[in-house]
Amino acid sequence: MTNIVQNGFEKSGLKKSGKAATVIIGAGFGDEGKGLLTDFHAAGFGKDVVVVRFNGGAQAGHTVVTPDGRRHVHSHFGSGTLTGAATFLSRHFVSNPLLFRREAIELEKMGVGLPAIFADERGPVTTPYDMLINQWAENSRGSGKHGSCGVGFGETIERCLDERFVIRISDLADQDGLRTTIDRIRQKWVAARLTKLNVPKLSGEQKELLFADKLRDEFIDAATELYARIRVARPGILKSSNVVFEGAQGLLLDEDYGWFPHVTRSSTGLKNAVEVAAEAGIKRLDCVYVTRGYATRHGAGHFPHELPNKPYAAIEDATNVPNPHQDNLRFGWLDLDLLSSTIDADFELYSATPGIEINRRLAVTCLDQLDASAFFMIGNKLCETSVDDFAAFTAQHTNIAEVYAGHGQTRETVTKITL
């Protein structure tokens, strides 16, 4: 049924002569293994590669484990960082200076020399006040929570719709101007936004935190540090390098065709990647849609074929730990009909983009966590096949000719299969 033509990242089929661009997109509710696939493809290029964060923000935690056992959850630094890859934060990526600082410290403690980080000056910037609004609003919803991560991503998008309160990467160069905008946000935006979200009156402790100059000044220090570390650039710099576009969240959380209101304020599919590629002059995109061998969702909202417990005993997830905003990671059977229609819906929107050839591939991760058989849904029926055949079977069902099978946490466990 299948022909295994490449095995391991060193034989991934990526040509180091000539430039290529790969797009990694989650095909579910997030947490599909995008960090693993980004690391895999970046490693195939050596250091001649830039990882582009083309949507989302610091709420996207992508785990990479290297063959020598190092582990890091990437949020600002692209998931090729441990291979030495540079990162480009596109104008669709929301930067969070406080969390950027924390991640930089974590990497430095690991002994990682930080590669170059480029950022589009048009990119929005999260403040601690977006984070507070996010957390206070989510806590007030009780059983009606939206499933937010609580780091202010969506609130940043909302605030930046009003020019009076916009903060972008370019604004971080001016501390005095930044302080003025921050004070305007604290005094005018926060109260109006909390009222619109029906958040109860703030407690004395919450008001004290909101108007604490220490929090404002810490943010400005972190913002200044972020601006000093990055190189401001536009997508044109990508044309001379191999590129891996690293998506955040998944297609079923897309702001346009996810199940509202439990979605992200972001285009999670090809839309932003195609836009950045067009601006950069990139002519071909190989798009890899990623899924685990089972379904997961971390946060509230509709979840087809949800199970009360883990579907396989060997499942382990050290990244998606329970938290007050998203609660526990949820599990279900993978619906191959839903997977196929979801991928088709995204791909068909952009496959005929003028001037850019777009191809699609599939990746199925966490196969090592399955039992002797893989279970999945087709036509609302529970089906079964061998784990060895599952990745290829899934690719056939989604009408995709190439699939990456992930049998572990590290890039060396990824196998490319051509049907």
In a shared domain, residues 62 and 164: no
Helix (H, G, I), strand (E, B) or coil at 124: strand
Q: Which residues are within 8 A (CB) of 24 and not within 5 positions of it... i.e. 6 or more apart?
A: 34, 37, 38, 41, 244, 245, 246, 247, 288, 290
Handedness of CA 35, 36, 39, 42 (dihedral sign): negative
Helices (H), 63-168: 97-109, 128-140, 153-159
In a shared domain, residues 250 and 226: no
Per-residue pLDDT tens digits for 394-407: 999 999 999 999 99
In a shared domain, residues 349 and 256: yes
Least Cα distance to 57 among 279, 211, 265 occurs for: 265
In a shared domain, residues 54 and 78: yes
pLDDT of residue 149: 65
Q: Which amino acid is at 350?
A: Y
Number of C-beta neighbours around residue 355 at 10 A: 9
Reply yes or no on whether 31 is catalytic: yes
What are the tokens at 370?
């399955």
In a shared domain, residues 53 and 108: yes
C-alpha span between 94 and 80 (Å, rounded): 19
Q: How many domains does the chain have?
A: 2
What are the tokens at 384?
């079964």
pLDDT of residue 320: 63
In a shared domain, residues 279 and 354: yes
Helices (H), 141-203: 153-159, 175-184, 190-196
pLDDT of residue 313: 93
Q: Considering 231, 250, 269, which residue would you say is the last residue of a domain?
A: 231
φ, ψ dihedrals at 281, nearest 5°:
85, 20
pLDDT of residue 323: 59
Please report, for the domain that includes residue 301, its CATH number: 3.40.440.10
In a shared domain, residues 290 and 367: yes
In a shared domain, residues 225 and 258: no
pLDDT of residue 330: 95
In a shared domain, residues 202 and 278: no
* Parts of the chain with a pLDDT under 50: 1-18
Q: Considering 231, 263, 291, which residue would you say is the last residue of a domain?
A: 231
Point out the catalytic residue in the list 41, 62, 72, 262. 62
pLDDT of residue 16: 39
Point out the catalytic residue in the list 31, 120, 130, 286. 31
In a shared domain, residues 292 and 402: yes
φ, ψ dihedrals at 244, nearest 5°:
-120, 115
In a shared domain, residues 66 and 147: no
Q: Considering 174, 200, 231, which residue would you say is the last residue of a domain?
A: 231
φ, ψ dihedrals at 407, nearest 5°:
-110, 25
Across 278-396, the runs of DSSP E, i.e. the strands, are 284-292, 295-298, 306-307, 329-332, 334-335, 357-365, 373-378, 381-386
C-alpha span between 50 and 81 (Å, rounded): 9
Please report, for the domain that includes residue 137, its CATH number: 1.10.300
Report long-range pairs for 251-259 (Cβ below 8 Å, ≥24 apart): 251/25, 251/26, 251/27, 251/28, 251/289, 251/342, 251/343, 251/345, 251/346, 252/27, 252/28, 252/29, 252/342, 253/29, 253/30, 254/346, 257/345, 259/301, 259/302
Per-residue pLDDT tens digits for 224-243: 999 999 999 999 999 889 99
pLDDT of residue 14: 37
- The model's pTM: 0.91
Reply yes or no on whether 62 is catalytic: yes
Give the residue numbers spanning the domain of 314: 3-120+233-418
Helices (H), 197-260: 204-210, 213-229
C-alpha span between 298 and 331 (Å, rounded): 9
In a shared domain, residues 356 and 368: yes
pLDDT of residue 300: 84
Angle at 44 between CA 364 and CA 395, to 5 degrees: 20
What are the tokens at 61?
């935690």
C-alpha span between 83 and 246 (Å, rounded): 15
